[in-house]
Structure 1
Amino acid sequence: MKPVIAITMGDFNGIGPEVALKAANSHLVRRIAIPVLVGSLDVFEYYAKLYKMKISIREVDPEYFGVEDIPRSNSDDIPLIVVRKFQKPKIKLGKISFEAGQLAVESIITAAVLNLKYGIDGIVTAPISKAAVNFNGLHFPGQTELLAAIYKTEKYAMILACDNFRVGLATIHIPISQVASSITTKLVAEKISTLNNSMKIDFGIKKPKIAVLGLNPHAGENGLLGNEEKTTILPAMKLAKQDGANVSGPFPSDGFFGIGSYKNFDAILAMYHDQGLIPLKLLGFVKGVNFTAGLPVVRTSPDHGTAFSIAGKGITDPSSTIEAVRLAVEVIKNRNQHIPKKTIRKK
C-alpha cells in the first residue's frame, strides 16, 4: 500500500499553498504516495481558482473515517484535513500576518497529530514565515525545532539533501555570533551519531563515510586561526569513531567543496547553517530537500522559503516539494526494513 503523506499548507501569504497543491496534484506524487493536504479549504480553493488548476479537494475527517480509509478511496480527489473551522482567512499576498503564522503552526501540529494518533506515514511541510510565527508568541526558530519539541526529541539533525549530496548541520537557526560558543564536543559527537544512524536507517547506506568540516578558515591552520578544531571537533570525532562511525576531517570547507572532495563521502557535517546550505543550493537549488533526522516521524520539506515576492503569480516551481515527497517515501520504505510499521489506530 502506498504511504500516506500529509502536506502542510505553509504560510498562506507566500508560495506554500501553491507548491503544496502542485505537488499533491502531480503524477509522480500520486503514483508513489497518497497525498493529504493539511490546512484551510478556503485557502486551497482560493489558490486553485487563482491558478485555474484542474483539481478537486475533498474534506475528510479522521475522527470519523480514520486515515487508514483514505488509500482505499477510488476518488481522484485530493483529501484535505481541515485544521479548524474558523472565519475565512484574509489572504494578503506577499505580506507577513499574525493569522498566516497562526494557521501555519496549527497545520504543522495537526499533521503531527495525524501521525501520532492515526499513524499517517510522513509529513512534508511547506515553507513558513518565521516572523509571522513569532507574531504569535511562539519562539521557535524553525519548523525543525517545533517538530522536535512536539515529539520531545532532543537528539535530531537537519539534513539537506540533493541526489547523493547530503549535509547535516551542527548548529541550525542561530546568529553567526553564537556559533562558536554553541559548538561543543558533546554536540558535535551527537550530531555525527545522528547523521551516521540516519544514513544507515533512513538512506539505506550500510557503511556510511562521513566528512566533518572545520569551523575556522583553513580548519584553524593548526591553531593559528582558531582552536575549535583541536579542542572541540577532533575530540568529538574520536568519540564517534569509538562508537563505530567512519568519520574523517575536519576539512577546510572552501577547499573541500572547491576540489569536489564531497563526492567521496555519503554525508557531511557542517558547523553552521550557511556553511552547509550555500554549496547545496549551488549544486541543486531546485531539487534540494530538508530532512529531519532523529524524529520518530519521517519529515521533509522543500529547501526554499515563502518567496513572498512571487506569491500569487503562479510561477513557482514545485520540484523541491515533489522531491520532498519522493524522499519521504524512500525514507519510509528504508525505515520499514529496520523498524516494524506502527499499526494505524482509530479513535
Structure 2
Amino acid sequence: MNHPQEILLAEPRGFCAGVDRAIEIVERALQKFGAPIYVRHEIVHNTYVVNDLKAKGAIFIEDLADVPPGATLVFSAHGVSRAVQEEAQARGFSIFDATCPLVSKVHVEVAKLAKEGYEFIMIGHKGHPEVEGTMGQLDSGIHLVEDVADVARVQPGQTAKLAVVTQTTLSVDDAAEILAAVRQRFPQVREPKQQDICYATQNRQDAVKLLSRQVDLVIVVGSPTSSNSNRLRELAAKLGTTAYMVDSADELRSEWFMGVARVGLTAGASAPEILVKQVIERIKALGAVSVRSMDGIEETVKFPLPKGLKIDAVTGLELRERSPETGA
C-alpha cells in the first residue's frame, strides 16, 4: 500500500483566542479608520494571515520611524517592550494593543514583583519577539535561560528575591525540565500561581501526544517563525513519529506519504483552518479516502477587544461600553 488511507485531525488545533483577537483588531481598525493601518511586527507568526491583512491595507513594520505621524498603530500579539510603548506614545500614534492577554498577564506580574525587589529568570527563546517584549518590561534584572545548561550559568545579583517567568508558547515538557533545574539551583524561587505557558499551547501539545501514537506520519500546518507550531513538530518527532511542518499545501511532498496508512494533521495556534482544508485536499488527491477528527477539548476562551474597536455587525456603529455594575 503506497498511499494514505485515512487522515486523523487533532483536536484542538489552529487559532487560539489571542490570535483570533489580534487579527480582529487589525481588521476592525481597517474597517473603522481605513487603510493603511500600521502593525509593529507580524501580527501573528503566519505567512497566510500576514499576506491577507497586507492585501486589506495593513503595513507591517519593525521600526516605529517607518510610521507617519498621526497614524494608527497596532502592537502584535507577542507584546512589546516598555521602550517601544513609550516611543509610540511620544510619536503621537493612535495605538491599539493586540498583545495576547496571557502575555500581558506575564508583563503585569513582572512589573508587580520588580517593585517588590525581585529579579527574574525567564525561560524562553532568545530573539523571539515575546521574549524581547517581556524582558523589555524592565531595564535590567531579567536573566534569559534557553535550556538546562543555561540555568547553571545564571548569575543573579541576589537570590533571596528571585522569580521565574516563561514564554507562553514553549514545549510544556522542555519548560518543566528547565524549571526543575531552576528549582534545584534556587530552591526559594517564586513561581507563577498558574503556569505561564498558555492553555492553547498546552492543549495543542496534549492533542499531538495522543495523535502521534495513532498515526504513521504527522503534518503540522504552521509558519517557520511560529514558536508553538515548531514545538508541535518537535514533540511528534520526539515521540518517534515522522513529522513535517508546512506553511501551505504546496510544501507537501508525495514521497512523504509512501507506505503511510494514516496521516495525523494539526495546526499551530496562528495557522488558519483554510490552510488545514487545503492540506486535506492535497492528501486526498494522493489517495486518502477518509477524514476523522479525534475527540478533544473544546476551547471556549474568548478575549474582549480594546475600547474603540467594538463595532455592531449590523449597524456598523461603535458599541457603547457596558458598565459591569449596571449592565447599561
Q: Could you state the TM-score of these two structures normalised by the residue count of structure 1?
A: 0.25
Q: Give 1 or 2 for the bigger CA radius of gyration.
A: 2
Higher helix share: 1
